[in-house]
Structure 1
Amino acid sequence: MTSLYRLAVIRTVDGPLAVAEHGGRMAPLHVLLGEVAPRIDLGPLLADWPTTSARIDAAIDAGGGVFAQAGIEAASADFALPFASPGALMCIGANYHDHIAEMPMPMTPEYPYAFVKPTHNTLSASGDGVEAPKGVEMMDWEAELAAVIGTAAKHVGEDDALTHVAGYINFNDLSARDWVASRPPIGVDWVRHKAHDGFAPIGPYFVPARFIADPQDLPVRLTVNGAVKQDSNTAQMIYGLKAIIRHLSSIMTLQPGDIIATGTPAGVGHGRKPPEYLKPGDEIRMEIGPLGELVTPIV
């Protein structure tokens, strides 16, 4: 069986470059695959993910020399967005037992509670600074496991749900709690709450699904300025990924490239006593299992 590898896009002097990371070194994906033109985005890999992933597996198994000869030290990589133009970005809210307990929520959701984040302005790569929005006093962090869809899914059952997942990636669902705390009379303004520029840090690595034995058994850890804020496990989810995919695919056809963020555990700033919020100069670091460390400076 192919040993663990991770895919990413890094910044180089010649522009973005898709790479495979294996054993701490990175090799250009097009070199591994015997292609001439560099690949600059992981998104096109999902058009025929079963075939493409098998090609990458075979290349990794046979391509140890590529990592030695053309390899880049992963520790020195400057990451870019792994998916430049993903499909829908769907987020599940209130989905961890420990998060429900820390927040003033009167009940557990009866089904996976979802909202959509725009991708054209919110996505930011690991290492990218995210601007603290003007007028926002309650900017918060939310470490989340995100699944990337690899094959179309419509009305799928839980038994088949994970077969539609290409892989997993870190996601930080940055939030402006101001419009939750004020409880507007008509309801929460989800755009003002979730859709500010840069409010969807993602990355650095995309890990193929076969390397994640159980998405409901992954450690979730987030720090702010080195202090641990979130330290939990995806086992705390109220609705696991199978149930989430079943639910969402009953509403819409999930397409390759769609991203599903699965909710955050306890330890968000708004749930702490006293509450804590982000400010310019802070640095967030989050890591879930083997997905790498997603770094987000607040500027």
Structure 2
Amino acid sequence: MSGQPFYLGTFRAGGGPPFAGLVLEGQVVAVAALVPLCRRLGLELFQPESVLGLLEDWSRNYPALERAVEAIRAGEAGALPFIAEAQLQTLPPVYLPRQIFCSGANYKKHVVDLIVAQGGPHLAGKSEAERREWGQRRMDERARWGKPFVFTKLPTSVIGPYDTLWLPPEVQQADWELELGVVMGRPARRVRREEALDYVAGYVVVNDITARELVYRPDIPEMGMDWLASKNAPGFLPMGPYLTPAAFVPDPQNLTITLRLNGQVMQHESTADMIFGVARLIEFISAHVQLLPGDLICTGSPAGNGMHYGRFLKDGDLMEGSITGLGTQRTPCRLEEVPGRSEPANYASEEVG
């Protein structure tokens, strides 16, 4: 569909139940309220009560939504119960994904910055310029011959685009990772990258919050990274505000990601800097697991995380995350108050039995 985009989201009015909403120029109408209009147009909407339900039959629901929007904009829809978005509570647009996959170390500049900062025995004695040149060569080689690094995240970490992020008191290094999120619109298994984007329903803004000091377990270093503790606290994945249909994102590798912390730009990068693009990630993940409609793929974060600045999230901070054409999420940070003892961040400080 050409012309102005429309969006989907999940909303709540007062204390009512969540509902799927169609968003047009800041106004929201329940998708379920479009069923009579679609029937007059000779089309049907399936499971219109939730965005996840719509995604279950996206190949039929999207054309119906597209035609309904055309009728609304042409003044042919009659009276519809639109509500100003500001009067509603905005929930995560996909409420909630069944599976969440995250790509790590997937932006060239980000990884090269880590190589320059952290070095390694093989780079001992090298200048910063030499380390950077070595890192850039390695990233070019990885893009040609390597494979994505993917891990999973829990749906219970998801919050809405304007919800408060409650910082666990045991976490001192909560970090931001603004990312392009990909929402699947069809089941996918062993998909070739040339066809992978045909399986995408749309795109969302996500922020993969990470507790840096919990990534590595000093008590069992041979076990690698602890994604459960470092990535999955409640609130560690703000999502939204909207699901933007893929038809309005002609090239997911040509979007600008921007994160501001208290008004200061911390991340500003193009998705063109991805080592493995959206299609390659879908190909890789679907080679190993069954992807389902509504599943979320977080595609990695560009340079400019708190680790780079030596500055982590704290009580009173405000994050604002935007991606071209996908909207802006605003996440205030507050310190969670937990009565009694909390799990210590430094596992090595406890006796290991």
**TM exceeds 0.5?**
yes
Q: Secondary structure at the match of 1:203?
A: coil
Q: Which amino acid aligns with 1:102?
A: D
Higher helix share: 2
Alpha-carbon deviation of 1:220? 0.4
> CA, structure 1 residues 234+68, in 2 after alignment: closer, same or farther (shift >3 Å)?
farther
Give the Cα separation in 1 of the matches to 2:65 and 2:177.
32
Which of 59, 72, 78 is 1:63 aligned to?
A: 72
Structure 1 residue 75: Cα displacement: 4.8
Kindly provide the CA deviation profile for residues 138-177 of structure 1, in whole angstroms up to 9, marking residues without a partner as x: 0000000011111111111111010010111111000000
Matched pairs, number: 296
The CA deviation at 1:37 is: 12
Counterpart pick for 1:94 among 81, 102, 105: 105
Distance (Å, rounded) in 1 between the aligned partners of 2:187 and 2:19:
27
Cα shift readout 1:241-271 (whole Å, capped 9, x = no counterpart): 1111111111112111111000000110001
Conserved? CA contact 2:46–2:54, under 8 Å: no
Is 1:20 the counterpart of 2:55? The answer is no
| Contact map agreement 1:96 1:265 (CA 8 A) in 2 | yes
Structure 1 residues 200 and 289: CA distance shift in structure 2, 3 A: same
Any runs of at least 4 consecutive aligned residues in structure 1 with deviations exceeding 6 A, and if so which?
Answer: 35-38
Residue 39 of structure 1 deviates from its aligned partner by 4.9
Deviates more, 1:74-83 or 1:49-58: 74-83
Residues 30-45 of structure 1 aligned to structure 2 (within 5 Å): 30-34=32-36, 39-45=48-54
Which of 45, 56, 62 does residue 47 from structure 1 map onto?
56
**1:145 alignment counterpart:** 180
2:84 counterpart (73, 77, 91): 73
Q: Looking at CA atoms only, which structure, 1 or 2, has the larger radius of gyration? A: 2
**Where in structure 2 are the equivalents of 1:196-215 lying within 5 Å?**
196-215=233-252
User: Equivalent of 2:148, from 104, 109, 112?
Assistant: 112
Following superposition, the deviation at residue 40 of structure 1 comes to 4.6
Q: Name the counterpart of 1:9.
A: 10
Q: Which moved more, 1:67-76 or 1:250-259?
A: 67-76
Please, which moves more after superposition, 70-79 or 209-218? 70-79
With over 3 angstroms needed to count, the CA separation of the structure-2 counterparts of 1:77 and 1:12, relative to structure 1, is: closer
Q: Aligned letter for 1:137?
A: Q
Q: Any unmatched runs of 5+ in structure 2?
A: 38-44, 120-137, 335-353
TM-score, normalized by length of structure 2?
A: 0.78
Letter of the 1:208 partner, please give it: P
2:89 maps to a residue whose letter is D
Q: How far is 1:191 from its partner?
A: 1.1
SS at match of 1:178: helix
Deviation at 1:69, TM superposition (A): 5.2
Equivalent-residue separation in structure 2 for 1:176 and 1:164 (angstroms) = 32
Deviation at 1:281, TM superposition (A): 0.9
**TM-score scaled by structure 1?**
0.92
Q: Distance in 2 between matches of 1:239 and 1:138?
A: 27
Aligned to 1:228: 265
Q: Secondary structure at the match of 1:33?
A: helix
